[in-house]
């Protein structure tokens, strides 16, 4: 590799990239590909060299500080074999035992940091059968490299449709909730604009107070312990059929996200009540992560590069702080009210400008006090809350990677002080809810059971409705 390779213009590390790789937060995104057949790992190194590394220069870069003290991405020579981990489990004939080995291995790598003197990613090849797959491929990618949107774009560049590789993968449509609003005259929009303005000021003020002063109550899902980032976490999963979620959606006149968020909120309260009855009335907040790009649907890396919208790759995220309804409230006696409540809260906050005001405030804080100070604000926001939720919508068609059919797809995140992370991802006809919970504090099986119970109760209640209620 010639010297010119190392002396090319270095890309500055974005502010979010610096927040997520600081002394306060070191965050990773884990993508799990469940294979329907055993993995042929002889193809790994060629695929990394020919397909993965060319996706984005950051996969071949490390973070360095220049002479002026600014963080830059510096291209380096990559040795792919140093980034590939292939664990050895004790031989056995039991998928259930391999489930345990797999779970223990994942628990360990969730808290391990990748070396800073190498590009910030790893590939873990689990070539043992579990209850869900013949083998599992784990992508461990530092959050500084990009967010879920970027990484899904990277997947689009690596994966193909099983039915016809020449056709592009397709994703669930995302219709704009503001399409009708845009058709209104300025005069008719004025009351809505005034309402949004005051809601924005209120949300912005409450977010600042929540971040800096107000802390959620301690509950069976929020220990209040310091230093939980380095403690062991475990993963558990819930799989729901998209058609059943759509049936609830149609009956209630809401969105799929409303249904998923509402049933998770209800499941959270059921679990709290199961462990400690008083916790059902505790003050608890959920941080909902948002993609702030002004685009619809995912784009492959090539499409991102061609797009007129600049800066599609990277971290373009913000968050909403949504209060979790209490079981003790009289209005929440009907479980379906959790869905309508979630819809009302998120719809109101999405229409608010507070997300952008918070972004401007963080940018100002970055310029005045630097990335460590902003990382502390984000850390404190997560620490003062109870649960973090993030969702991605995946392909509607079955995929393959190097002729390996993919039977399942899910992800999780690490690096924050919260005790519970909930990630949601759709793939073909299934929605996978992944629970990352603090080991030894959260009873993950009981928590999983409570969310499944919430779904069963809500599905039954929704199917008994003869007419769609007007709850908008």
Same fold for the domain at 11-161 and the one at 179-392+418-463?
yes
Q: Which two tokens stand for residue 79?
A: 């040795």
- Quick: pLDDT tens for 427-446: 999 999 999 999 999 999 99
The residues near 344 (Cβ < 8 Å, ≥ 6 apart) are: 471
What lies within 8 Å, CB to CB, of 324 at 6+ separation is 265, 268, 269, 284, 285, 286, 386, 387
Is the whole model's pTM more than 0.85, yes or no? yes
- Residue 360 vs residue 211, higher pLDDT: 360
Do the Cβ atoms of 62 and 76 come closer than 8 Å?
yes
* Of 263-277, 374-388, 416-430, minimum mean pLDDT range: 374-388
**Mean predicted confidence (pLDDT) in 16-31:** 89
CA 169, chain centre distance (Å): 21
Q: Which residues have C-beta within 8 Å of that of residue 144, sequence separation ≥ 6? A: 13, 16, 17, 18, 20, 21, 27, 63, 120, 315
What pLDDT was estimated at residue 181? 41
Give the whole-number percent of the chain exceeding pLDDT 70.
Answer: 78
Confidence (pLDDT) at 199? 55
- Pick the range with the lowest mean pLDDT from 1-15, 32-46, 131-145: 1-15
Model pLDDT, residue 392: 84
Asked if residue 109 lies in contact with residue 234, where contact means CB atoms within 8 angstroms, the answer is no
Q: Compute the distance between CA of residue 163 and CA of residue 158 in angstroms, rounded to an integer.
A: 16
Kindly give the interhelix angle for 354-369 and 371-383, rounded to the nearest 10 degrees: 140
pLDDT in tens, 268-316: 999 999 999 888 889 999 988 776 555 555 555 555 555 544 455 555 5
Poorest-pLDDT segment among 63-72, 182-191, 247-256: 182-191
- Mention every residue, 6+ apart, whose C-beta is less than 8 A from residue 459: 244, 247, 248
Confidence grade of residue 183 (pLDDT, cut at 50, 70, 90): very low
**Token match 């999405």: residue?**
350
pLDDT value at position 315?
57
Instruction: Report residue 250's pLDDT band, with 50, 70 and 90 as the boundaries.
Output: very high
pLDDT at 329: 56
Over residues 80-91, the mean pLDDT reads 94
Ranges 45-54, 321-330, 406-415: which has the least confidence: 321-330
The residue with greater pLDDT, 472 or 89, is: 89
CA 261 distance to own-chain centroid = 13
pLDDT of residue 107: 96
* Reported confidence tier of residue 468, pLDDT bands at 50, 70, 90: low
Q: Strand 11-12's sheet: what is its strand order? A: 11-12, 71-75, 61-65
Q: Domain 179-392+418-463: what homologous superfamily?
A: Nonribosomal peptide synthetase, condensation domain (3.30.559.30)
Contact 25, 375 (CB under 8 A): yes
Contact partners, residue 3, CB within 8 Å, separation at least 6: none
**% of the chain exceeding 90 in pLDDT:** 47
Q: Which of 288-292, 391-395, 397-401, 438-442 has the highest mean pLDDT?
A: 438-442
Average pLDDT, the chain: 82
The domain spans of the chain are: 11-161, 179-392+418-463
Predicted confidence (pLDDT) at residue 422 exceeds the cutoff of 70: yes
Mean pLDDT of 148-157: 71
What is the pLDDT at residue 387?
A: 95
CATH of the structural domain 11-161, one choice from 3.30.559.10, 3.30.380.10, 3.40.50.300, 3.20.20.210:
3.30.559.10
φ, ψ for residue 287, nearest 5 deg: -95, 115
Joined together, the tokens standing for residue 31 give 């993508």
- Judged against a pLDDT cut of 80, whether residue 92 lies above it is answered with yes
Q: What pLDDT score does 297 carry?
A: 52
Q: What is the arithmetic mean of pLDDT over 391-418?
A: 91
- pLDDT, residue 200, reads 54
Report the alpha-carbon distance of residue 310 to residue 206 in Å, rounded.
Answer: 32
Structure-token pair, residue 344: 């009302």
Span 372-397, average pLDDT? 89
Residue 326 CB partners (closer than 8 Å, separation 6+): 269, 280, 281, 282, 332
Q: What angle do CA 458, 460, 465 make, to 5 degrees?
A: 95
Q: Indicate whether 419 pLDDT > 60.
A: yes
Could you tell me which residue, 348 or 430, shows the higher pLDDT?
430
């Amino acid at each position: 590799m010639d010297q010119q390779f190392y002396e090319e213009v270095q890309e500055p590390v974005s502010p979010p990239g610096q927040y997520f790789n600081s002394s306060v937060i070191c965050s990773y995104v884990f993508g799990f590909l469940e294979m329907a057949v055993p993995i042929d790992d002889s193809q790994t190194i060629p695929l990394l060299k020919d397909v993965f590394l060319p996706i984005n220069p950051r996969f071949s870069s490390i973070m360095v500080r220049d002479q002026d003290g600014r963080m830059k991405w510096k291209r380096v020579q990559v040795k792919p074999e140093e980034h590939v981990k292939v664990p050895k489990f004790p031989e056995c004939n039991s998928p259930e035992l391999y489930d345990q080995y797999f779970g223990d291995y994942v628990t360990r790598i969730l808290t391990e940091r990748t070396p800073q003197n190498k590009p910030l990613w790893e590939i873990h090849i689990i070539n043992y059968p579990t209850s869900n797959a013949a083998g599992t491929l784990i992508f461990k990618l530092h959050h500084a490299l990009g967010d879920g949107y970027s990484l899904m774009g990277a997947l689009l560049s690596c994966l193909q449709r099983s039915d016809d590789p020449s056709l592009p993968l397709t994703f669930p449509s995302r219709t704009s909730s503001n399409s009708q609003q845009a058709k209104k005259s300025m005069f008719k929009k004025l009351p809505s604009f005034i309402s949004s303005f005051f809601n924005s000021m209120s949300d912005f003020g409450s977010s600042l107070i929540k971040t800096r002063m107000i802390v959620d109550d301690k509950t069976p899902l929020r220990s209040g312990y310091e230093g939980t980032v380095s403690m062991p976490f475990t993963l558990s999963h819930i799989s729901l059929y998209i058609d059943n979620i759509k049936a609830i959606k149609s009956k209630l006149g809401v969105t799929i996200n409303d249904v998923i968020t509402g049933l998770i909120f209800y499941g959270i309260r059921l679990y709290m009540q199961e462990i400690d009855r008083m916790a059902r009335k505790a003050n608890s907040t959920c941080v909902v992560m948002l993609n702030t790009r002004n685009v619809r649907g995912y784009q492959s890396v090539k499409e991102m590069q061609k797009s007129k919208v600049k800066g599609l790759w990277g971290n373009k995220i913000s968050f909403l702080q949504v209060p979790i309804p209490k079981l003790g409230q009289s209005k929440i006696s009907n479980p379906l009210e959790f869905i309508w409540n979630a819809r009302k809260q998120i719809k109101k906050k999405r229409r608010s400008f507070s997300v952008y005001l918070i972004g401007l405030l963080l940018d100002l804080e970055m310029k005045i006090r630097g990335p460590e100070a902003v990382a502390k604000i984000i850390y404190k926001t997560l620490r003062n809350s109870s649960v973090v939720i993030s969702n991605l919508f995946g392909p509607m068609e079955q995929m393959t990677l190097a002729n390996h059919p993919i039977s399942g797809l899910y992800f999780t995140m690490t690096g924050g002080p919260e005790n519970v992370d909930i990630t949601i991802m759709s793939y073909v006809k299934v929605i996978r809810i992944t629970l990352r919970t603090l080991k030894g504090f959260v009873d993950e099986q009981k928590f999983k059971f409570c969310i499944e119970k919430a779904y069963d109760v809500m599905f039954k209640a929704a199917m008994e409705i003869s007419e769609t209620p007007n709850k908008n």
